[in-house]
Structure 1
Amino acid sequence: MKKYAWLLGLLAALFAGCGGGGVSQDPLANVTDAEGSLYGAGQEWVEQALGFFGDLLPASSQAVMRERSLTVVGDSEGVTLLADPVALSPTSIEDLADKPLFIVFRPTNKTTRPQAYIGNNTPGLQAYIGFLRKAQQDYEVEWYGARENGARRTARSPLIIKRLPVTGPNINPCLAGPLISWRKWGGIYVFDGCRQFSPERIHMSGPFPNDLPGQLIDRELRPTPIEEVLKPVYQNLKKPFEVEWPPAVLLRPEVSAIFNAYQNPRLREARQPDDLLGTPLGIVYLRTANGAKLTKADAARVIEVELAREESGYVLLGKNLRNPSETLRFPVREVAWCDGCWFPGMPTEIHLGIEDELEDPPYLFYLQINNLLLGGIAPKK
């Protein structure tokens, strides 16, 4: 449970104060309000952290407060934040060469430091800045982490770059600004970014250098848990099992998703994906934007999901627990079993990630529950 304490603490601090204007009668509205509080706190966090990279960034980029495209991924390992560090106005990918494109915050207990807390109840993050570099064949990202003996530790990630000409109207979220995604597949972490140019849209992705020590940032957190926001949503729902806490969290400008695994014994007893066919896996709180960004008008669903297999392949079948007559279907592109990702006796291992796409659907989900890996989940009925 120690590693879960990190997730509880960090999200609690970010969500703190979200109910200051009074408690809504609908607990779903409280979760929606908490999303806004989290985003505001995340924006401030990025602004403050830029000062730690003053040796790499121009002073002008640190002096201007602005809204950034922020991605929050919280799972059983901690919370990862991703954002664009500086405002750029490129007309092509060539204009981005030698520019900082990514700032990433990772929990300290994932890389060089085994503990989730530093000092007296002060959690730590490791921060990284990623610059686009021209390579022999294409491009790569050079990551800057901890400063040691007056110099930054660095590592390079090869990039896979896809390009798509843009023609006609399109509401792909990439049009609203640069997006940064994060997902885990087994033990490999992958980042990707989506940017709009004229007349093309590009997508770049690559593995994150997990063994690179980052710039250490200490933070004080308050102990209010995120469960206080979510538990009222699930408390009176008719469901086959109680849920595990804490949840996996994924927040972006155009989507909010929170997954709680069920306390279903089959999730711990299964030895292959087909052992879980037809069994309830957990509950997803899901809110997706009708346009490029979420608004208050985009309603949330609370969906129970189970894994099924059809002639076309695997799918997640969903039932809206607040409106049981509504059923949903989410195609799954890839299903795998990760031996070694989880062992009996360990706390439930969960991860909810995202990958951008250049065409419809504009993004795909990635879900891990213990050894079960579900990739390329399309967010459509």
Structure 2
Amino acid sequence: MKKMIPLFTSGALLLSSGLAAAHEGTPVPQKAEKAPVNTPVKIGNAAKVLVNGVEVKSKANHMEGDKYYVSVEAYTDLFDRPVIWSADKKSVTFNGKTMATKTVNGEQTAWIKDLSNAVNGRITLDGAAQEIYVLVLPEGTINLSPGEIVPAMGEHWAKPDEMPLGPIYGVLDGRLVFLEYMIAQKDFVEGKSHRNVPGMKGLPSPTVVQTDIEHQPVGHPGFETPHFDIHNYFITDEEQMSIGTVKVDLLNDKSEKIGYAAFYNLGPQTFVQVIASGLTPNSKHGFHIHENPIANGDLTSAGGHFNPEGKQHGQDNPAGAHLGDMQNLVVDQNGNVEALIPVPGVTLEEGKPNSIYGKSLIIHATEDDGKSDPAGNAGARIAGGNIPE
């Protein structure tokens, strides 16, 4: 994800003058950032302005001194909120907040911070992408678990009186990434309907890219009853699986990307989510963590399986198994695989003997038999990727 600097409505620089977590999950330990968090962010006249991911388009948007001005009409048109102009059009009252305006290219503009404050927005600057992002959630929405990033999701925001049904607003780096509802299993069994459920009514909302419907048979912290989690994501699956995880790009022996893997913790257990394509249809492939990183695309440079405890290979081997031994990848008729695989014994903490940092992943040509030492007769190495150090 891009490095961003959150600036709330009381922020500076360009804009200056307990409820339980909704999901069980242990964030991956994040490495310290090298750049200080107060690094100045420069935004130019051509910066893109987004409100909840929806662009505020106008040629009147511009930088003036240390402030960025945005077309009032283009901004307020995104909301179902009252807009009242003064007679001389030198000020406007938006959602009950009055602010000064300036005419640029025939349009009235206002300071982005004033426009954001009028709807209790939170502003994030992305200097690399030249974007100003305004996050606007319904009034009364709070962060359910401050400081916690749930793997593959982000922060969870909601109105306490709307829980557990929701909506829950997923936020990462000050940006809206999903909208979630949690519906009790018994509601489906009993044929109960939920009508006019709150959401983004009156607020701009980005396009839904994908939807996940997940059954929680025993519930999770925040909703300890069997239920379904329904997530409408505004980002791709790969972007989602980059949140709070250790992500690995998987490349074939021609250095072409065929998919990715993402390690993360669920409670005390480490899992790896694998999504790949272009494999042999209706096949199984050995899949392991190897002891060395792959050098210059040479899959053989990964060495043997990750085995800090000096055991034999194979999950079915009574003398095994290597920490790097994992379940076979089961490929469908289209050559695709999507799997969530437990990886017992390893850690995502740096400096531990069983840490996976600096290792690699290897996909083999054939099935691992689960017992033959040292590699399960899984055949040639056909793809892999390096786990970040």
TM-score between both structures, scaled by the size of structure 2? 0.30
TM-score between both structures, scaled by the size of structure 1? 0.31
Q: Please identify which structure carries the higher helix content.
A: 1
Larger gyration radius, structure 1 or structure 2 = 2
